[in-house]
Chains A and B, each alone.
Chain A
């Protein structure tokens, strides 16, 4: 027991414009849960994918025991007993649970056809070993709950008889109770001698299950520590790498006048219920909450993507009815979306056109456009925001995450909107770019613009906001001013515990 079963030496992996991993050493013992931790974009998922064979590193070696291996595909890793439970589900919606678990490895009967009976029995016994026999193996996975789907994912992984399992942010979409039952199962797997790599960025949770922690930052390994030898503060310092007050710098600022107000705002799907919030000129208001708490839905509602189901929305004192993004933007509101690649940018399009996407019509109200003027405007914003690109004609897909996010910012700055919604503004970008974005937010607030910031990174919410609303289950579960509540208090409100759900 407890011998080292996996070692990596000097793993380096590059993507266009960014070194995702820089000479990373890592090792895993049997019977342990080894936690990989770091901020967004630190390289933890990339390392996991290299170990799983999904990425081929440019440099470095991987050893299983003492044997050097090189994985070209996930199949190579699979054949050596390394399996993954991915963050995004890999289930096929209209195949049943058993078919999903044994996909592409279905047991056959003597006619060469799939032996559904045997497959279902095997699936049942695996689920039983996970204490999940309540899941009906004959149901299509489409109808299962998220937590149930995850159990099927784990069962699928187990059906390969693995030696090493990799969990990539498995709790992102689970409720607290579901997280606890997941942990119970992970402990059981660990006891059976599996080595488990657990990728996470939630500090609250990994003390409960991990043995060792490896901290990554900007693609570099900062260190590996035993979980008992380290406290929260030391961990945060390792992850962030500098004093928090430096990262989240806020200038003195005065607020004046309300620019945005919702009164018992609800959507039509029950994801947002009776939300009443306000935002003042020059203020940064954070909205904290778990994934699925209705934060993004609230943003979509305010921005006019989804129709309003009930309640009222006021922008600068004017009630907005039958809203659409076109209307909302005219009122001076802009939105930096959660999913930059899908909603924020046209990746195949150039920096130039993405920068001009919103503002084109205001620069050229007479419909005819001038390429020369567009080039000048776009170049100006690219310089202002220090977007690292050879020229404005470069397609956005070739930029790093941080530079892509700067282009999104340029898009809204050029449109001169004075109220901004930032939905997860620092997801998937490196620390340097993060700090630039924080500085930009601070500068916008000083200039008298107002920001509504949605984030699941608590330090970010606490560090940047003048005021914080906490969302839980579609409702506002609490409100506090800068410095009023600690991270722990906010965290428990996010989970819907801690008593009062009235507005404080």
Chain B
């Protein structure tokens, strides 16, 4: 009876409607702000936004794929691959803009191959993309002999320093990619098919819809997003690094799940993912700012992310 009275209260109703990810974020912010005076400064927050961009794009890609009931474990490797290809080709004399485009096209092709293997081969997405992850890692390592490769070009600096209406260019790029992903998801046939693949594949088969084409398109679009993420990462590092994206695919899955996208029934969207990524970025930034040695960070970040997924999953189940 009490519960019924409570749900009629609009304030409590509103509070209940807020997804857990926001709560976890707020708790983290308050914990970190206690541990460091510098934490609550505006410059730190703007910094975090910039830091979050590359992962943000990867997480959009992951969200699309999770919505189809898949998971792409090769996304992080795709980012590394793009940074390496861009620098490698430019070093080999290809004009820098052309090599950038080629790098992105190559990661789209990688995505398309993933989509083809998953849909035509009918094999679990995670194992297909795990295989692809290792193939890409090998290629990146072979091209760079295992180390970072550099070129000097003012373009990198220009991209990271440029500001439009007070906000860094890279943040605008992320916003643009959000918009494009949103349009694809909600305004195109492909978007409806994403929800269909995740929500009721049998229905699609019954309706005689070919599942292979949309899968290829979705994974290739994910490749586009990781490609752009790879370009921005290259600009920030001013180098090509064969393992820079390692683990991003996991952080992207975490951001997707925390953002309320379900692994099972094609439920969710990219709006929540934005918050999931911010949460992870706040976590990393907070550990840095409060002086936790970098040696400890991997384990702590992994643990907190895993715990958040667990709490989130349990909370959702308790609700239903």
* A–B contact (CB under 8 angstroms): yes
- Measured CB to CB, the residues of A under 8 A from B are 53-54, 73-76, 78, 86, 88-95, 99, 103-104, 106, 113-114, 116, 142
Taking CB atoms, residues of chain A closer than 8 Å to B196 are 92, 95, 103-104
Encoded as 1 (CB less than 8 Å from any A CB) or 0, chain B from 188 to 212 comes to 1101110110111011001111000
- A103's nearest neighbour on chain B, judged by CB, is B192
Taking CB atoms, residues of chain A closer than 8 Å to B265 are 93-94
Known: A92-B199, A93-B199, A94-B195. A103 touches B207 (CB 8 A): yes
B266/A90 in contact, CB under 8 A: no
A113/B187 in contact, CB under 8 A: yes
- Measured CB to CB, the residues of B under 8 A from A are 183, 186-189, 191-193, 195-196, 198-200, 202-203, 206-209, 265-268
Query: Which of B189, B191, B200, B268 sits near A91, CB closer than 8 Å?
Result: B200
Cα-based distance from A53 to B209 in the complex (angstroms): 13
Query: Which of A93, A113, A114 sits near B200, CB closer than 8 Å?
Result: A93
Q: Which of B207, B266, B268 has the most C-beta atoms of chain A within 10 angstroms of its own C-beta? A: B207
- A49's nearest neighbour on chain B, judged by CB, is B206
- B67's nearest neighbour on chain A, judged by CB, is A94
A113/B199 in contact, CB under 8 A: no
Cα-based distance from A114 to B265 in the complex (angstroms): 23
Provide the main secondary structure of the chain B interface. Answer: helix
B199/A95 in contact, CB under 8 A: yes
Cα-based distance from A88 to B207 in the complex (angstroms): 13
A74/B200 in contact, CB under 8 A: no
A90/B203 in contact, CB under 8 A: yes
B189/A74 in contact, CB under 8 A: no
- A53's nearest neighbour on chain B, judged by CB, is B208
| Known contacts A74-B208, A94-B267; 5 further A-B pairs (Cβ under 8 A) | A53-B208, A54-B206, A95-B195, A99-B195, A114-B192
Taking CB atoms, residues of chain A closer than 8 Å to B203 are 89-92
Q: List 24 A-B contacts (CB under 8 A).
A: A54-B206, A73-B208, A74-B206, A74-B207, A75-B207, A78-B207, A89-B203, A90-B202, A90-B207, A91-B203, A92-B199, A92-B203, A93-B266, A94-B195, A94-B265, A94-B266, A94-B267, A94-B268, A95-B196, A113-B183, A113-B187, A114-B189, A114-B191, A116-B187
Q: Which of A76, A91, A113 has the most C-beta atoms of chain B within 10 angstroms of its own C-beta? A: A113
Cα-based distance from A108 to B207 in the complex (angstroms): 20
A104/B192 in contact, CB under 8 A: yes
Q: Kindly provide the distance from the CB of B53 to the nearest chain A CB, expressed in whole angstroms.
A: 26
Query: Which of A76, A78, A93 sits near B267, CB closer than 8 Å?
Result: A93
Cα-based distance from A140 to B208 in the complex (angstroms): 23
Cα-based distance from A187 to B200 in the complex (angstroms): 30
Q: Which of B192, B198, B202 has the most C-beta atoms of chain A within 10 angstroms of its own C-beta? A: B192
Cα-based distance from A93 to B195 in the complex (angstroms): 8
Known: A92-B199, A94-B266. A86 touches B206 (CB 8 A): yes
Taking CB atoms, residues of chain A closer than 8 Å to B191 are 114
A90/B200 in contact, CB under 8 A: yes
Q: Kindly provide the distance from the CB of B112 to the nearest chain A CB, expressed in whole angstroms.
A: 21
Q: Which of A89, A94, A116, A142 has the most C-beta atoms of chain B within 10 angstroms of its own C-beta? A: A94
> Which 8 pairs, one residue from A and one from B, show the smallest C-beta to C-beta distance?
A75-B208, A90-B203, A92-B199, A113-B187, A73-B208, A74-B208, A93-B199, A94-B267
Cα-based distance from A73 to B207 in the complex (angstroms): 9
- B197's nearest neighbour on chain A, judged by CB, is A92
Taking CB atoms, residues of chain B closer than 8 Å to A104 are 189, 192-193, 196, 207, 209
Q: Kindly provide the distance from the CB of A191 to the nearest chain B CB, expressed in whole angstroms.
A: 28
Taking CB atoms, residues of chain A closer than 8 Å to B187 are 113-114, 116
Q: Kindly provide the distance from the CB of B268 to the nearest chain A CB, expressed in whole angstroms.
A: 8
Taking CB atoms, residues of chain A closer than 8 Å to B189 are 104, 106, 114
Q: Kindly provide the distance from the CB of B269 to the nearest chain A CB, expressed in whole angstroms.
A: 9
A99/B192 in contact, CB under 8 A: yes
Q: Kindly provide the distance from the CB of B141 to the nearest chain A CB, expressed in whole angstroms.
A: 40
Taking CB atoms, residues of chain B closer than 8 Å to A103 are 192, 196, 207
Known: A113-B183, A113-B187. A95 touches B192 (CB 8 A): yes
Cα-based distance from A249 to B70 in the complex (angstroms): 52
Cα-based distance from A92 to B205 in the complex (angstroms): 12
Taking CB atoms, residues of chain A closer than 8 Å to B192 are 92, 95, 99, 103-104, 106, 114
Taking CB atoms, residues of chain B closer than 8 Å to A53 are 208
Taking CB atoms, residues of chain B closer than 8 Å to A88 are 202
Q: Kindly provide the distance from the CB of A241 to the nearest chain B CB, expressed in whole angstroms.
A: 32
- A99's nearest neighbour on chain B, judged by CB, is B192
Cα-based distance from A116 to B268 in the complex (angstroms): 19
Q: Kindly provide the distance from the CB of A407 to the nearest chain B CB, expressed in whole angstroms.
A: 26
Cα-based distance from A116 to B199 in the complex (angstroms): 20
Q: Kindly provide the distance from the CB of A169 to the nearest chain B CB, expressed in whole angstroms.
A: 15
